[in-house]
Amino acid sequence: MKKILFLFLILLLAACNAEKTPETQNDGQAAALMKDLDVAVQNKNWLQALQNADVLLARFPDSAEAKALKPRYEEIGKQAQAMQEERRLATLWDYQQVPVGKKTQFSAGIYSKPEMFAGEPSDLPPAARMIIRIHPEWGNSIYLVLAQSQFRCGSPCTMQISFDDGAYKTFPGLQADTGNGPALFIENEKAFYKALQTAKNIKIKVKGVPDLEYEVASYDAAKLGADFLDKKK
């Protein structure tokens, strides 16, 4: 009787293992990947969704999940690329809050895009850093810190500025010295700031300085920490 029971258990175990064929295991893994993908899409985590989609198509190309995924793949890829670009743009801005006596200086800075040569970015350092600053004593200002050691602005000191490839407009400038190099303040800073908040790209032409371009789409006024257009300032 014990032998019969033992044989029965062996046969039952074999039957259970037979049910877990490579095909059924693959189906389960493909379904799990598809489930994770759908959750990522629902949460708008497009980079994770694209990663799951690539794994699913590479490992289980003949699965029902892969066939269902193919019509959605292009859109997932586009959304993932947009998310990656959004994250890249966000890293371009640097926000700082520095104590000045008992008060605080608020600032945001961004470097100009690298100069291009033969269609490729050069290894030269950025030509100028643009600073948005709210100083408790000196007031609100927007200025360029130039990489070059010497600079002489024309008289009158002006610059040509274009927002999102629109027509260039003349802004008066004011040259200054940071102690480590020349700076150029953008006069009529309130008009410039208003345009900056909705712009994606800003181009600036100044005599004696390489043409400047800034990718400003990710600027976040809330991260500045204070209202630049506050009428009290």
Same domain, 156 and 218: yes
Q: Is residue 229 part of a domain?
A: no
Q: Is residue 232 part of a domain?
A: no
Look up the CATH number of the domain holding residue 127: 2.60.40.1880
Q: Is residue 51 part of a domain?
A: yes
In this structure, which long-range contacts are made by residues 110-113, counting pairs with CB atoms below 8 Å and at least 24 apart in sequence?
Answer: 110/214, 110/215, 110/216, 110/219, 112/212, 112/213, 112/214, 113/213, 113/214, 113/215
Containing domain of residue 152, as a range? 92-224
> How many C-beta atoms surround the C-beta of residue 125 within 10 A?
11
Q: Is residue 209 part of a domain?
A: yes
Q: How many domains does the chain have?
A: 2
pTM: 0.77
pLDDT at 178 (0 to 100): 81
DSSP lists the bridge partners of residue 170 as: 160
Q: Give the residue from 74, 89, 104 where a domain finishes.
A: 89
Q: Is residue 231 part of a domain?
A: no
Provide, rounded to the nearest whole percent, the portion of the chain with pLDDT above 90. 68
Comparison of pLDDT for 94 and 8, the residue scoring more: 94
Same domain, 16 and 64: yes
In angstroms, rounded to a whole number, what is the distance separating the alpha carbons of residues 89 and 76? 20
Each residue's pLDDT tens digit, 103-146 = 999 999 999 998 755 556 666 778 999 999 999 999 999 999 99
- Identify residue 177 by its one-letter amino acid code: D
pLDDT band at 185 (very low <50, low <70, confident <90, very high): very high
Same domain, 104 and 215: yes
| Averaged pLDDT for residues 152-166 | 93
Same domain, 102 and 207: yes
Closest C-alpha among 222, 215, 202, 211 to residue 88: 215
pLDDT above 50: residue 7: no
pLDDT above 50: residue 10: no
Three-class secondary structure of residue 162 per DSSP = strand
Q: Give the residue from 89, 120, 135 where a domain finishes.
A: 89
Three-class secondary structure of residue 188 per DSSP = coil
pLDDT at 2 (0 to 100): 47
pLDDT band at 155 (very low <50, low <70, confident <90, very high): confident
Between 61-75, 78-92, 119-133, 164-178, the lowest mean confidence (pLDDT) is in: 119-133
Q: Is residue 173 part of a domain?
A: yes
pLDDT band at 6 (very low <50, low <70, confident <90, very high): very low
Average pLDDT, the chain: 86
- Identify residue 171 by its one-letter amino acid code: F
Residues 65, 34 contacting (CB under 8 angstroms) = yes
Q: Give the residue from 53, 72, 89 where a domain finishes.
A: 89
In angstroms, rounded to a whole number, what is the distance separating the alpha carbons of residues 132 and 135? 10
Each residue's pLDDT tens digit, 55-74 = 999 999 999 999 999 999 99
Q: Is residue 107 part of a domain?
A: yes
Q: Is residue 62 part of a domain?
A: yes
